[in-house]
Amino acid sequence: MISASASEGTLQLLRTWMATPQDVIPIVGGRNVLIKHPDHIRAVLTDNSFTKETGANRRFRDHVADGVLTAPADRHRAERLLLNAATRDFMTLNCVATEHVEALASLMSWHAARGERVDLTAAMNRLALGVIAEVLFGWTAIDELAEAMAAAMAVLDASGAMLPTQQQLSPVRDRVFRAVHELVELQPPSERGPALTAMIDAAYSRDAIAHQAVTLLLAGHETTANSLAWIWISLIRTPDAYGRWQQQMLAVPRMARAATGNVTREGLRLFPSSWIIGRKSTTDTEIDGTPIPRGCTITISPYVTHRHPQFWPDPERFDPSRHDGSPVHRFAWLPFGAGARMCLGSTYALWEADITLSTLGQRFRFHSDAAETATPRFRYTLGAPPMPVDIQPLGQR
Q: Summarize as ranges the residues that interact with ligand HEM (CB under 6 A).
A: 52, 68-69, 80, 87, 132, 216, 219-220, 223-224, 227, 272-274, 277, 335-337, 341, 343-345, 348-349
Rounded-to-integer distance, Cα 55 and Cα 280, Å: 9
Rounded-to-integer distance, Cα 292 and Cα 297, Å: 9
Which one, 53 or 390, has the nearer CB to ligand HEM? Answer: 53
In one-letter notation, the amino acid at residue 107 is L
Least distance (Å) from ligand HEM to the CB of residue 393? Answer: 27
The partner residues of 377 in beta bridges, in order of sequence, read: 383
Least distance (Å) from ligand HEM to the CB of residue 217? Answer: 9
Which one, 130 or 335, has the nearer CB to ligand HEM? Answer: 335
Which one, 214 or 391, has the nearer CB to ligand HEM? Answer: 214
Least distance (Å) from ligand HEM to the CB of residue 207? Answer: 18
Rounded-to-integer distance, Cα 125 and Cα 136, Å: 17
Rounded-to-integer distance, Cα 58 and Cα 161, Å: 15
Least distance (Å) from ligand HEM to the CB of residue 298? Answer: 11
Which one, 315 or 337, has the nearer CB to ligand HEM? Answer: 337
Alpha-helix runs per DSSP H in the chain: 4-19, 38-45, 55-63, 73-84, 90-113, 120-132, 143-158, 166-186, 194-201, 206-217, 223-237, 239-251, 256-270, 302-305, 346-363
Least distance (Å) from ligand HEM to the CB of residue 287? Answer: 17
Least distance (Å) from ligand HEM to the CB of residue 52? Answer: 6
Rounded-to-integer distance, Cα 151 and Cα 200, Å: 28
Phi then psi for 111, rounded to 5 degrees? -65, -40
Residue 362 and residue 253 in contact, taking contact as beta carbons nearer than 8 Å? yes
295, HSE (Cβ side, Cα atoms, 13 Å) = 4
Which one, 56 or 250, has the nearer CB to ligand HEM? Answer: 56
Which one, 7 or 57, has the nearer CB to ligand HEM? Answer: 57
Which one, 208 or 250, has the nearer CB to ligand HEM? Answer: 208
Least distance (Å) from ligand HEM to the CB of residue 87? Answer: 4
Rounded-to-integer distance, Cα 24 and Cα 32, Å: 10
Rounded-to-integer distance, Cα 254 and Cα 89, Å: 22
Residue 260 and residue 361 in contact, taking contact as beta carbons nearer than 8 Å? yes
Rounded-to-integer distance, Cα 205 and Cα 276, Å: 32
Which one, 227 or 281, has the nearer CB to ligand HEM? Answer: 227
Q: Which residues contact 97 (CB under 8 A, 6 or more apart)?
A: 131, 135, 351, 352, 355, 356
Least distance (Å) from ligand HEM to the CB of residue 8? Answer: 23
SS3 203: coil
Q: Which residues contact 218 (CB under 8 A, 6 or more apart)?
A: 64, 65, 69
Pairing, β 388-393 against β 118-119? antiparallel
Least distance (Å) from ligand HEM to the CB of residue 297? Answer: 12
Which one, 65 or 287, has the nearer CB to ligand HEM? Answer: 65
Which one, 218 or 391, has the nearer CB to ligand HEM? Answer: 218
Least distance (Å) from ligand HEM to the CB of residue 395? Answer: 31
